[in-house]
Chain A
Amino acid sequence: MRVDAGRIGWSAVQLATQNLGLKRLGVGFLLAGVALQNLGRRQARTLLLLAGVSICSGAVFTGGVLLRSIDSSMAAGFARLGADMLVVPEGALTNITAALLTAEPTDLTFDDSELARLEGIKGVQKVAPQLVFRTDASGYRGGTDSVDVIAFDPARDFTVQPWLEQRLRRPIRKGDIIVGGRRDDALGSELLLFGQPLTVYGKLGKTGVGTHERALFMTFETLAEMRPTMQRMCGEKDPLVPNKLSGALLQLAPGATSRQVRFAILANVPEVKVVSSESMLTSIRQGLAALLNGALALMAIMFVSTALMLSVLFSAIIAERKRELGLLRAMGARRRQIIGMLLTEAGLATALGGIAGVVLGILLMRVYEHSLVYYLDRIGIPFVWLNGWTVGLIGALCIVLTSLTGAVGALYPAWRASGLEPYALMRSEG
């Protein structure tokens, strides 16, 4: 049996009208019903229209969520890091996505006496020393997985503690450990590292920077206490030698330029390399920004092409219904009522398509969630999913935009048809 969706929809409208005492509503309500029924009358065409619109809306929604996620991950991964520069031993490789959050695990180190020199350089406001040690002998959770242990100085740090999402209600102390955002150790629980019990003092939020998210953070004081055990288990590695650092994160004073500070460091501190946001991170940021802008432009083009497609489609739909429009005009419908009815129809159809597209986008993202994050991570793009509210907002925006695109697409044919004389409309073949 053929199901007349429009008639069912209109019956629902009538039921609401009768039961909710809405009969005083204007003719717009009745004309909206006509619009609804017209969608139901041509089910195959309406379904094709919905499919076309939902593909557009789904692509824009999915693209929007992914781009916004990447954008906010970038903001989290770069802009909120606080460090303007990283000073590492000359020859050390640096992961530029992580550079301003933490030093990279490497056997190269420099002496901590260089800190005083760095602090003395004009334009340097803060210096946060870090020592990063990668090992698979930590026995963390009884396994042999590679773990990054990062030692920091709580008094000088400005890149680790700002990310503390959960923490015990006391200051950090010797024997405490902070876990990265992707670790699931419970707050206050005890974990064994190199056979020594440590208390999980805090957990960081997700930054989108892998090294940071999977690392275990401890103070230099805790490291000093554990050093003999670590040296026994891992051997005499350079990072485990006292008074050595993997790097120092620098925050510049207001007004200082990174170029000046960079030259000053290279002139005064021997055998170090300076990684600054202006040199590498900025280029990445700019590259990604260009990519995001390109994607945004593509989305805009998609909307315009959808509007054009809808315009052509609604031209045909309206041409088919000229007699009906002529009848309404003859009965006294004003031009703007006719335009309103046609735009309502277009807006309704495209809004439905928009909703379908958003639902489709959500389903697709759920299905490919893990592989997508893995892929983006592999190509070095930091990625943290947006929260539900933001996704909902993008979805709503997408539906509204799609609906508006439909209305805009139908505007010109509706305006043209409504401008014809009623008699000319009625004489049309339809």
Chain B
Amino acid sequence: MTVSCVDLVKTYATERGDIEAVKGIDFAVRAGEFASIVGRSGSGKSSFLAMIGGLSRPSRGSVRIEDTDIWTLSDDRLADFRNRRIGFVYQFSSLLPTLRIIDNVVLPARLDPTQDAASAYRRARERLDQFALSDYLDAYPSEISAGEQRRAVIARALMNDPALLLADEPTSDLDEVSESEIVEWFFRLKRERPLTLIMVTHNLRLAEQTDRVIHISDGRLVT
């Protein structure tokens, strides 16, 4: 799945006036590519990723994923697009604490009204098995480790077989072992699936292992 954006700008209105977090980025990622975006805190990486993922409307510019200009879609259509085409992994623990691991993982499939619940649960079990979490189907997020939680989040992101996986600092709060485990998972996924991967990280060592490294500084691409 190719991803491209043209003249992407994001301005936040604050009490101290407007803050331009992203200042006109032109960018493209080829289908199947694993790109990483690096930059210092506050450089606009996460805002940029949110616009690509259909989570935050650009103040200007467009985002095209395959043939779809996602910001021209209605709110419901965009929600469906995110549900079926994009997987997200965040920098914080993003499992719903009140749901079991299996229910967390099955959520994207259950949010798709065209999917059958029984087969969704079967696939969720397969995903969890794939990520070595089959012992924790009925566990609650607080009952498993941070690394296991992150694997569960990746399993959830892959639930609807998205063509694009967006990861926003997915290893930020993990220890080194868990971090390398998660990174290894990303590379394995890229090998096994026709998946386009864009990962925001501040870890240069990690970024250098990806197909392409894109630097952002002060809301602009740095070549």
Contacts and interface: CB of A to CB of B under 8 A. Distances in A.
Overall SS of chain A's interface:
helix
B50 A423 contact: yes
Contact of B113 (A23, A26, A30, A331): A26
Contacts of B156: 331
Contact of A332 (B92, B94, B112): B112
B99 interface: yes
A23 B82 contact: no
B15 interface: no
Nearest to B82: A332
Contacts of A38: 98
A40 B55 CA distance: 30
Given A422-B55, A423-B55, A327 B96 contact: yes
B97 interface: yes
A30 B96 contact: no
Contacts of A23: 117-118, 121
A330 B53 contact: yes
A332 B108 contact: yes
Contacts of B90: 327, 426
Nearest to B116: A24
A30 B50 contact: no
Interface in B88-110: 88, 90, 92, 94, 96-100, 103, 106-108, 110
A38 B13 CA distance: 32
Contacts of A333: 79, 111
A119 interface: no
A34 B121 CA distance: 17
A14 B83 CA distance: 24
A321 B113 CA distance: 24
A3 interface: no
B111 A332 contact: yes
A334 B55 CA distance: 13
A25 B117 contact: yes
B176 interface: no
Contacts of B84: 332
A331 B108 contact: yes
Nearest to B92: A323
Interface string A64-105: 000000000000000000000000000000000000000000
A421 interface: yes
Nearest to B85: A332
B192 interface: no
Interface string A26-44: 1100100110011011000
Interface of A: 6-7, 10, 14, 23-27, 30, 33-34, 37-38, 40-41, 323-324, 326-335, 337, 421-424, 426
30 contacts: A6-B98, A7-B98, A10-B98, A14-B100, A23-B117, A23-B118, A23-B121, A24-B116, A26-B110, A26-B113, A27-B111, A27-B113, A30-B106, A30-B107, A34-B98, A41-B97, A323-B92, A324-B96, A327-B90, A328-B111, A330-B53, A330-B55, A330-B88, A331-B88, A331-B111, A332-B80, A335-B75, A422-B55, A423-B47, A426-B55
Given A7-B140, A23-B117, 5 more contacts: A24-B117, A26-B117, A27-B113, A333-B79, A422-B50
Closest 7 CB pairs of A and B: A332-B83, A37-B98, A423-B56, A423-B55, A423-B50, A23-B117, A27-B110
Interface of B: 47, 50, 53, 55-57, 75-76, 79-80, 82-84, 88, 90, 92, 94, 96-100, 103, 106-108, 110-113, 116-118, 121, 140, 156
